[in-house]
Amino acid sequence: MKSHKFIHSNNPVAEVKITKSSLLGEFVDEFLVEETPIAMVFNGISHVVMMASPSNLYDFAYGFAITEKIVSSVDDIYGVDINVKDHGIELEINISSESFEKLKEVRRNLTGRTGCGLCGAESLNQVINLPVDQIKNSYIFSSEKILIAIEKFSSKQEMQSKTGSTHACAICSQNGEIKLIREDVGRHNALDKLIGAVIKNNLLEPDDFVLISSRASYEMLQKFAFLNLGLIAAISAPTALAARLADSLDITLIGFAKGKKFNIYSHERRVTG
């Protein structure tokens, strides 16, 4: 049996030599995005391994812990250590005793049971993991300012401009300025990194909105809801479930946000001309 040597990288982008069909026999430089196994380890217990870009890992740890409801607030995270191993990276996340006990109880409930196969969920009622209350955010957004942010979005994506294969999520001010952007090979990871960054650094304003380069799936809406913001705009389409979730949570959901236009799928009252 042939053995395969697995080599991971700690750099988010790799430079490689390739041959193009138009230049056979010649080599040119090209950039590829890296994907690395990243283990989330809480108080010494490995919880899950994600395939992600090895960048902004502190943000990733914070955002994942928050959006997966492992912690109730950023104050429950006492520290994060990054440990590089032979086959990937471990994020050692130290959380409060109360949070850790809740996490252990969830793990006990999953042990030995047949799962539905979705992100480790054991039953259907674990899939929809939303806040109980609606979003309490009444800020109004100018369509002109939203379009300004959309126009600037692609130029801020450094990894995407090099590799052409990453997703990005950005936090934008009401005036259309892009305040912070995070990129990753996975769209959920990019949003976790953004959420972790804005919460742990206290960068969030109630009149901000989020712009994402991917489709707006229900998982993206679930994670976005933790920010308690009123508007999320996706470059691609939303799913029908995401649109229903946005409607039930009082979130304004925008899709096909490209060029000088976009579609509004829920709560259009927040968008003015």
- The separation between the first and the last C-alpha atoms of the chain, rounded to the nearest angstrom, is 64
> What's the pLDDT score for residue 6?
53
Higher confidence at residue 180 or residue 10?
A: 180
> What's the pLDDT score for residue 225?
94
Nearest Cα neighbor of 183 from 93, 8, 36, 60 is 60
| Domain-terminating residue out of 103, 126, 149 | 126
> What's the pLDDT score for residue 162?
93
pLDDT class for 171, splitting at 50, 70, 90?
very high
Nearest Cα neighbor of 90 from 51, 49, 34 is 49
Higher confidence at residue 205 or residue 29?
A: 205
Its pTM stands at 0.89
Into how many domains does the chain fold? 2
Other Cβ atoms within 10 Å of 215 Cβ, number: 17
> What's the pLDDT score for residue 125?
56
CA-CA distance, 64 to 242, in Å (whole number)?
20
On whether the CB atoms of residues 241 and 248 are closer than 8 A, the answer is: no
Cβ neighbors of 68 (< 8 A, separation 6 or more) are: none
CA-CA distance, 43 to 41, in Å (whole number)?
7
Mean pLDDT value of segment 257-265: 95
Look up residue 242 and give its amino acid.
Answer: A
CA-CA distance, 141 to 143, in Å (whole number)?
6
| Domain-terminating residue out of 77, 96, 126 | 126
Which tens digits make up the pLDDT trace of 56-110? Answer: 999 999 999 999 999 999 999 999 999 999 889 999 999 999 999 999 877 655 4
Residue 122 belongs to domain with CATH number: 3.10.20.10
Q: Is residue 13 assigned to a domain?
A: no
Both 47 and 149 in one domain: the answer is no
Domain, as residue range, for 261? 141-272
Catalytic residue among 116, 119, 169, 172: 116
Can you tell me whether residue 36 is helix, strand or coil?
strand
Both 159 and 70 in one domain: the answer is no
Both 42 and 67 in one domain: the answer is yes
Nearest Cα neighbor of 237 from 223, 222, 218 is 218
Q: Is residue 90 assigned to a domain?
A: yes
Both 106 and 166 in one domain: the answer is no
Does residue 112 surpass a pLDDT of 60? no
Both 249 and 147 in one domain: the answer is yes
On whether the CB atoms of residues 226 and 131 are closer than 8 A, the answer is: yes
Partners of 13 in beta bridges: 33
Which tens digits make up the pLDDT trace of 2-55? Answer: 444 455 667 888 888 878 888 787 888 888 999 999 999 999 999 999 999 999
Both 82 and 159 in one domain: the answer is no
Active site residue 116: yes
Which tens digits make up the pLDDT trace of 119-162? Answer: 545 555 555 666 656 788 999 999 999 999 999 999 999 999 99
Tell me the pairing of strands 141-142 and 45-52. unpaired
Q: Is residue 86 assigned to a domain?
A: yes
